[in-house]
């Protein structure tokens, strides 16, 4: 099996494509294009017509909105398996946000018109898309909640916990920051300065921070930052630690 075929096979396991007929899936994926892009590459720009639905195969893509004054609000940073631009594709409207790689990444593109059409023909695909959009909405809700209810330190702690869960099946102590600190800071709605000072607070609590790597003093050191959204993932890896605030 060549690499291209293997990748398409992996893609077929994504939730959006699950339980589709083989024929329909092959039809869709025959229109798909998989490409590698360099960090910094802009995939699409706010206001432009949306020609593709994108899937991150491997890497990280930030989705953000710029303001007239040059600031930007990062809506999400999509990782492996994430879908980009779904709302714009299905409403057939210009891109609501811009998308730019924050790491070298492998990205799949699917023509917007094709997927719009297929959704009207294939009920199972439509249901899968409803699920994806629902999950996406959940993430946006979480982001609103975080930016309104949590302090900078809480947002950083939550983010580190999320990384920690993603990166280890058993809550190991080492966390690797997947992209620039300034990008993380922007994602967490704070300046790089604030992010840096916040990490210093973690250092004071026993965390070791060296360049892009962070080592927790104890495996459960971040459990105090667990929330509703992460609880499921915590449970999935049999993380039974408790915290003052919540069961993690």
Partner DNA sequence: GGTTTTTTTTGACATAGGTCAAGTCCATGA
Partner DNA sequence: TCATGGACTTGACCTATGTCAAAAAAAACC
Binding site for DNA (CB under 7 A): 151-153, 180-182, 189-197, 199-200, 209-212
Q: What does the binding site for a copy of itself look like in residue numbers (CB under 8 A)?
A: 65, 67-68, 71-73, 75, 86-88, 90-91, 96-97, 119-123, 126-127, 129-131, 133-138, 140-141, 143-145, 147-150, 189, 228, 245
| Residue 67 beta carbon to a copy of itself: minimum distance, rounded to whole angstroms | 4
* CB closer to DNA, 42 vs 247: 42
Report strand pairing: 83-84 vs 213-215: unpaired
Report, in Å, the least distance between residue 230 CB and DNA.
Answer: 20
State the binding partner of 113 from DNA, a copy of itself, none, CB within 5 to 8 A by kind. none
Query: Which CB sits closer to a copy of itself, 138 or 247?
Result: 138
Residue with tokens 């699917």, as numbered in its chain: 110
- Closest contact distance (angstroms) between CB of 152 and a copy of itself is 13
All residues at 6 or more sequence positions from 230 whose CB lies less than 8 Å from its CB, including other chains: 158, 161, 162, 165, 248
Residue ranges of the alpha helices (H) in 17-151? 22-30, 86-91, 112-121, 123-149
Query: Do the strands 83-84 and 52-58 form a parallel or antiparallel pair, or are they unpaired?
Result: antiparallel
Judge residue 27's burial from the number of C-beta atoms within 10 Å of its C-beta, 0-12 exposed, 13-18 middle, 19 or more buried: middle
The candidate with the shortest Cα–Cα distance to 98, out of 70, 75, 65, is 65
Q: Which is nearer to DNA, 151 or 240 (CB)?
A: 151
Q: Are 156 and 198 in contact (CB under 8 A)?
A: yes
**Among DNA, a copy of itself, none, what binds residue 151 when CB lies within 5 to 8 Å by partner kind?**
DNA
Of 212 and 217, nearer to DNA (C-beta) is 212
- Alpha-carbon distance 37 to 6, whole Å? 19
> Considering the complex, what minimum distance in angstroms separates the CB of residue 98 from a copy of itself?
12
- Of the pair 155, 162, the CB lying nearest DNA is at 155
Grouping H, G, I as helix, E, B as strand and the rest as coil, residue 89 is helix
Residue 123 binds: one of DNA, a copy of itself, none (C-beta under 5 to 8 A by kind): a copy of itself
Helix (H) or strand (E) holding 181: helix 181-187
Residue 135 binds which entry of a copy of itself, DNA, none, CB below 5-8 Å type-dependent: a copy of itself
Give 175: exposed, middle or buried? Use CB within 10 Å, 0-12, 13-18, 19+: buried
Give the neighbor-by-neighbor strand order of the sheet with 213-215: 174-176, 213-215, 208-210
State the minimum distance, in angstroms, from the CB of residue 3 to a copy of itself.
Answer: 33
Cβ of residue 144: shortest distance to DNA, in angstroms?
A: 14
Task: Kindly tell me which of 197 and 245 has the beta carbon lying closer to DNA.
Answer: 197
């Amino acid at each position: 099996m060549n690499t291209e075929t293997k990748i398409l096979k992996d893609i077929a396991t994504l939730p959006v494509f699950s339980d589709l007929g083989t024929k329909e899936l092959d039809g869709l994926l025959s229109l798909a294009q998989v490409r590698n892009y360099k960090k910094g590459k802009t995939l699409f720009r706010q206001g432009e017509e949306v020609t593709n639905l994108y899937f991150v195969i491997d890497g990280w893509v930030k989705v953000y909105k710029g303001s007239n004054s040059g600031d930007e609000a990062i809506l999400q940073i999509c990782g492996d398996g994430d879908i980009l631009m779904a709302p714009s594709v299905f409403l057939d409207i210009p891109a609501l946000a811009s998308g730019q790689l924050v790491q070298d990444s492998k990205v799949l593109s699917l023509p917007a018109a094709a997927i719009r059409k297929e959704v009207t023909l294939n009920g199972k695909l439509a249901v899968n898309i409803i699920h994806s959009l629902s999950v996406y909405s959940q993430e946006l809700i979480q982001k609103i909640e975080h930016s309104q209810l949590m302090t900078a330190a809480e947002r950083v702690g939550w983010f580190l916990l999320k990384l920690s869960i993603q990166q280890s099946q058993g809550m190991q102590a080492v966390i690797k920051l997947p992209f620039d600190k300034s990008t993380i800071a922007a994602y967490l709605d704070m300046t790089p300065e604030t992010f840096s000072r916040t990490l210093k607070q973690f250092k004071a609590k026993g965390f070791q921070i060296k360049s892009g790597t962070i080592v927790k003093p104890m495996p459960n050191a971040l459990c105090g930052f667990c929330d509703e959204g992460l609880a499921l993932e915590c449970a999935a890896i049999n993380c039974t630690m408790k915290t003052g605030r919540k069961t993690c």
